[in-house]
Structure 1
Amino acid sequence: MRHLLPLLLVAAPLHAQEVDLELVLLADASGSITQSEIEFQRLGYATAITDPAVLNAIRSNLTGSIAVTYVEWAANQAIVVDWTVIDSAESAAGFAAALLPPPRLASGRNAIGAALLEGKRLIEDNSITGLRRVIDFSGDSTGNFSGPSIAEARAEVLAAGITINGLPIVCLDCSGGERSELAQDYERQIIGGPGAFVVAADGNASFAEAVRRKLILEIAGDLPPDAILPAMATPGTLLADR
């Protein structure tokens, strides 16, 4: 029996950690995004993930934890911060601190379909079990210049039971106020799945708030489906319906 013990230990299954939400943050790093905008986006996410309202949303869920990874996409995709379980202010601060220093790793023209499929792969290949699985896709256009089509990739992601939410960046380096059709393009072409929604960012002043609001809605998981929201809107104030 003593000789069998090592074998039994090796054969014992590894139980995946359970969290309320597996969340892939796919951030635009294509050629239209400058280095300062890369840094601004990362700072916006770092600020949002440590916001007290976001932390309260995490604590209020069943397991009191979420798993997050931050990936920049362009012609290629690059993991900036690998999967991190956030269940406290300390773990959120650790994720935020890891997000800011790395150099830009993705570049080139848009490959949105490939980015969505990479988000799916990252969710399916990790050792975490999420009660919900979401890809949070941000970008400043819906152009797709290489790799799988958006429609093909989106269908594959949704078939896997993964929701896609959108953060269209109408403009980072502007004063805001003018809204383009990008949010509607994201609704038609990008988002999908149960409760999918769009939160639009239309300037520096609204970007961090858009990210904060989007994280809260994703963590809470109780937004009515098919909503497009401006950064400062409440869930009941819809810009458009699908």
Structure 2
Amino acid sequence: MRSGSTTRRGLIAGALAAPFLLRHGPARAMEPVDIELVLAVDVSRSVDAEEQELQFRGYAAAFRDPKLIEGIAGGPLGQIAVTLFTWSDWHVQELLVPWMRVDGAAGAERLAQALDAAPRRNWLYTSISGAMDYAAGLFGQGYEGTRKVVDISGDGINNSGRPVAEARADALAKGIVMNGLAVLDHTPQPWANGLPPLDAYYRDEVIGGPGAFLMVAEGFGAFETAVKRKIIREIASAPPPGPLVERAYA
């Protein structure tokens, strides 16, 4: 009797699960990659249309760079997963490039073309904490990286949302590395009076985790050089010890 009861329970459980499996299919296996890389791009009001275009062109050019493609091929698995979103106010994040596998020149070109075609929009405030929280929720969506890295680029300090220290601590507790790309504006804005130097702020408040580092672009004209160097260093399978802060010039 017990055996028959067990069989009936199994049949009932299978019948109940069948509609779910028909709708959703079996759970998708996570694809291993060398790194899951989240690119978070500042589009607050301090980034004008020309500067925003320089950012998008810089990221697209980075993925067309043979050195970057060579760096991906040099990893143990020879493939990485990349996603990109823009951010501004605490509640404003826009996913422009969903997770994409990049395993060579063709995959890198697809990602670059997605960046070429992505919409350019500006918002108001600068919520680095909001960007961190949003980025932390993007991992584990189809890919499993040996490393999980968030690359936050911006030209201002946090002025919207919860404290950056709280958001960073939550991300680091999940094993996520926070890297930064600070873009220095050599035409000071009135609202910047009395604020800490941006490079020092990103170094002390934004980056964190094993091997974290900061790339400083000396103006938006240096952004393309900065982002190429930064991503090449991030995707290296065994990054050599490097400076905590690097600088790129136009």
Contact 1:109–1:145 under 8 Å retained in 2: yes
Residue number in structure 1 paired with 2:3: none
| Structure 1 unpaired stretches of 5+ | 175-179, 233-242
Shift of 1:103: 2.0
Shift of 1:173: 8.0
Q: Deviations over 1:70-116 (max 9, x none)?
A: 11110111011111110011111111111122223451101111110
Q: How does 1:1-242 map to 2 (within 5 A)?
A: 10=21, 13-75=27-89, 76-105=92-121, 107-124=123-140, 126-142=141-157, 144-171=158-185, 181-220=197-236, 221-224=238-241, 227-231=244-248
The DSSP-based 3-state class of the residue aligned with 2:137 is helix
Contact 1:133–1:161 under 8 Å retained in 2: yes
Q: Deviations over 1:129-183 (max 9, x none)?
A: 01100000010111x2322210110000000000000100003889xxxxx9322
| CA–CA separation in structure 2 for the residues paired with 1:50 and 1:202 | 22
> How has the CA–CA distance of structure 1 residues 173 and 46 changed in structure 2, closer, same or farther, with 3 Å as cutoff?
farther
Higher alpha-carbon deviation: 127-136 or 95-104: 95-104
Determine which structure has the larger helix proportion and give its number: 2
State the TM-score, normalized to the length of structure 1: 0.84
The higher radius of gyration belongs to 2
| CA–CA separation in structure 2 for the residues paired with 1:77 and 1:26 | 9
| CA–CA separation in structure 1 for the residues paired with 2:187 and 2:104 | 33
Please identify runs of 4+ aligned residues in structure 1 that moved more than 3 A. Answer: 10-13
- How much is the aligned-residue C-alpha RMSD, in angstroms? 2.4
Shift of 1:49: 1.3
Shift of 1:204: 4.1
| CA–CA separation in structure 1 for the residues paired with 2:28 and 2:88 | 35
2:248 is aligned with what amino acid?
A
The DSSP-based 3-state class of the residue aligned with 2:139 is helix
2:228 is aligned with what amino acid?
R
Shift of 1:224: 2.6
1:58 is aligned with what amino acid?
I
Contact 1:23–1:136 under 8 Å retained in 2: yes
> How has the CA–CA distance of structure 1 residues 151 and 223 changed in structure 2, closer, same or farther, with 3 Å as cutoff?
farther
Shift of 1:13: 4.4
Shift of 1:127: 1.4
